[in-house]
Amino acid sequence: MSMLRPLRLVLLGAPGSGKGTQTSKLLKEFGSIKSISSGDLLRKQIELATPLGLKASSYISQGQLLPDSLITGVIGDELKSRDLLTSKASWLLDGFPRTVGQAGALDKYLSTHDAALNLVVELDVPHEVILNRIENRYVHVPSGRVYNLEYNPPKVAGKDDITGEPLSKRPDDTAEVFGKRLEQYKQTVTPLKEHYAKQGILSTVSGTTSDIIYPKLVTLILQKFAR
């Protein structure tokens, strides 16, 4: 396990580009990093049928983004309640921010805690490659663990490796809704990248598989944050 200086990272990437996959790999390698996935968080709220979950579910099942005002507070509260708003904590965000409005709100929130973002990485995977992955995706909602019948199948079919609980399909992983999500991403990512490029913290790692991307991502992090 490598030692890092405090890392406050945002992973950008199209739906299915492997944000969740890279997050689990990084957490395994760098024990000190915590993660927040906006999608995982919302799926848990939906399963628990909380007021937020009820609001989120129609947006998610239609492949639409939640309004900025709804999601921004949720992530802020999560950072706060997990005690991540200090200049010493290392964490990464998967799936948030998604719009320039969210990015601006996050910058403002973090600046009041002396914990500004210090790296944003875009996972650049060809969209033709991604489409094939989604049909085969299964998730374990309570943990956010993600499987793919070809790439990383569960040890026992239909069951989570760690808890043995049942896996499920995401309602937004149909071809139709997935197409909308991809389109949405294409429309929102350019201004988002410009926002972070201006701050000098944007990098891109490209590849057709997560196994190609992961070592590049680790090299990038170590170059900038190894003690």
Handedness of CA 173, 178, 184, 187 (dihedral sign): positive
Q: What CA dihedral angle connects 195, 107, 104 and 4, to 10 degrees?
A: 40
Please pick, among 25, 133, 145, 181, the residue that the annotation labels catalytic. 181
Q: Is 133 annotated as a binding residue?
A: no
Please pick, among 25, 98, 133, 145, the residue that the annotation labels catalytic. 98
Give the binding site for Mg ion (CB under 5 A). Answer: 20
For residues 98 and 189, what is the distance between their CA atoms, to the nearest angstrom? 7
For residues 56 and 54, what is the distance between their CA atoms, to the nearest angstrom? 6
Closer to Mg ion by Cβ: residue 8 or 170: 170
Judged by CB under 6 A, the chain residues 140 through 199 that form the site for ligand G5P are: 146-148, 150-152, 172, 181
- The stretch near ligand G5P (CB under 6 A) out of 92-100, 106-114, 157-165, 195-203 is 92-100
- CA nearest 36: which of 116, 95, 105? 95
Q: Is 8 annotated as a binding residue?
A: no
Please pick, among 25, 133, 137, 145, the residue that the annotation labels catalytic. 137
Residue at shortest CB range from ligand G5P = 39
For residues 21 and 13, what is the distance between their CA atoms, to the nearest angstrom? 12
Q: Is 20 annotated as a binding residue?
A: yes
What are the C-alpha distances in Å from 204 to residues 112, 139, 201, 207? 28, 26, 10, 10
What secondary structure, in 3-state letters, does 78-113 show?
HHHHCCCCCCCCEEEEECCCCCHHHHHHHHHHHHCC
Contact 132, 17 (CB under 8 A): no
Closer to Mg ion by Cβ: residue 20 or 63: 20
- Which of 89, 92, 210, 214 lies at the binding interface for ligand G5P (CB under 6 A)? 210
Binding residues: 16-21, 38, 43, 64-66, 95-98, 102, 137, 146-147, 170, 181, 210
- Catalytic residue ranges: 19, 98, 137, 170, 181
The residues that touch ligand G5P, with contacts defined as CB under 6 A, are 13, 15-21, 38-39, 42, 59-60, 63-66, 71, 95-98, 102, 133, 137, 146-148, 150-152, 172, 181, 209-211
